[in-house]
């Protein structure tokens, strides 16, 4: 009886679905987090009677045939890159991207990573870094005697220094876009890395065609919708329960067969 193994694949699929939803809910307050969605495909079919096979010597054919499916499998976990709501923080080192793009971050091994979470800080040398201490690229160093730091929508960083009337330009923030943002690989700490599926990064200044702008004193919230996630979890739980009922029914049918006298 194939129903037992078929329902088992359904239970595994709904288990994965709940795991994805639980990660979304766990990160509902994570800055710049993008929710994910599990996607599934049906497995191969067993052809007991093939569609279109000859049913007689007169040339008649079987219109529908008999195909029995053997279950479901996960085909991928899709990241939804829809922009989250922007919240004002007032912190001069908080930056949100309004539109497409990622900040470029230099990892300790010299490679680049990318993030939408612009909750930056400065380290002991005045460099603009992530909360984990990774350097924001291009490198921007804030002088110790600064009075105020301002960043315009085009990403130009300026500092007002003591004893100076005109602000000093410290550097230029850049944004990175990819042909396929979904193909980026998440490595934790709000960071993503390039893969073959994402395509090569394209770097430009904020505000250019196809790129977003930078807002100082704002952060991008997670795009997780708690109501939708809870609804999806309930649906997945019910699907898991129904598949378990199928296994129970198949077991009872096999038991009845074994008890025939």
User: Cα angle vertex 14, ends 12, 20, to 5°?
Assistant: 105
What pLDDT sits at residue 4?
92
Same domain, 76 and 145: no
Same domain, 170 and 252: no
What pLDDT sits at residue 175?
97
Same domain, 212 and 241: no
Same domain, 123 and 229: no
Residue 195, domain extent: 86-220
Same domain, 95 and 151: yes
Task: Please tell me the total count of domains within the chain.
Answer: 2
Positions in the chain whose pLDDT score sits under 70: none
Strand order across the beta sheet in which 146-151 lies: 146-151, 156-161, 168-172
Q: 0.85 exceeded by the pTM?
A: yes
Least Cα distance to 6 among 65, 64, 74, 73 occurs for: 73
What pLDDT sits at residue 164?
82
Same domain, 74 and 181: no
Same domain, 127 and 140: yes
Phi, then psi, of 138 in degrees rounded to 5: -65, 155
Supply 163's token pair: 């004893």
What pLDDT sits at residue 25?
97
Same domain, 239 and 170: no
What pLDDT sits at residue 169?
92
Model pLDDT for residues 224-247, shown as the tens digit of each residue:
999 999 999 999 999 999 999 999
What pLDDT sits at residue 109?
94
């Amino acid at each position: 009886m194939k129903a037992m193994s078929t329902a088992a694949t359904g239970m595994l699929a709904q288990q994965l679905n709940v795991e994805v939803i639980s990660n979304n809910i766990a990160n509902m307050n994570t800055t710049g987090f993008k929710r994910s969605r599990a996607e599934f495909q049906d497995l191969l079919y067993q052809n007991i009677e093939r569609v279109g096979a000859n049913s007689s010597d007169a040339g008649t054919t079987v219109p529908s045939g008999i195909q029995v499916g053997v279950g479901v499998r996960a085909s991928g976990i899709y990241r939804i890159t829809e922009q989250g709501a922007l919240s004002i923080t007032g912190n001069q080192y908080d930056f949100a991207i309004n539109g497409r793009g990622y900040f470029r971050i230099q990892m300790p091994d010299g490679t680049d990573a990318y993030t939408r979470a612009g909750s930056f800080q400065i380290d002991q040398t005045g460099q603009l870094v992530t909360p984990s201490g990774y350097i924001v690229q291009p490198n921007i160093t804030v002088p110790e005697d600064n009075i105020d730091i301002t960043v315009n929508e085009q990403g130009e960083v300026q500092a007002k220094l003591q004893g100076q009337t005109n602000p000093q330009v410290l550097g230029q923030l850049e944004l990175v876009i990819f042909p396929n943002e979904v193909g980026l690989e998440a490595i934790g700490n709000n960071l993503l890395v390039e893969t073959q599926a994402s395509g090569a990064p394209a770097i430009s200044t904020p505000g250019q065609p196809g790129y977003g702008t930078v807002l100082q004193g704002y952060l991008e919230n997670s795009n997780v919708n708690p109501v939708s996630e809870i609804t999806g979890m309930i649906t997945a739980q019910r699907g898991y329960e129904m598949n378990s009922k199928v296994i129970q029914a198949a077991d009872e049918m096999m038991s009845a067969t074994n008890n025939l006298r």
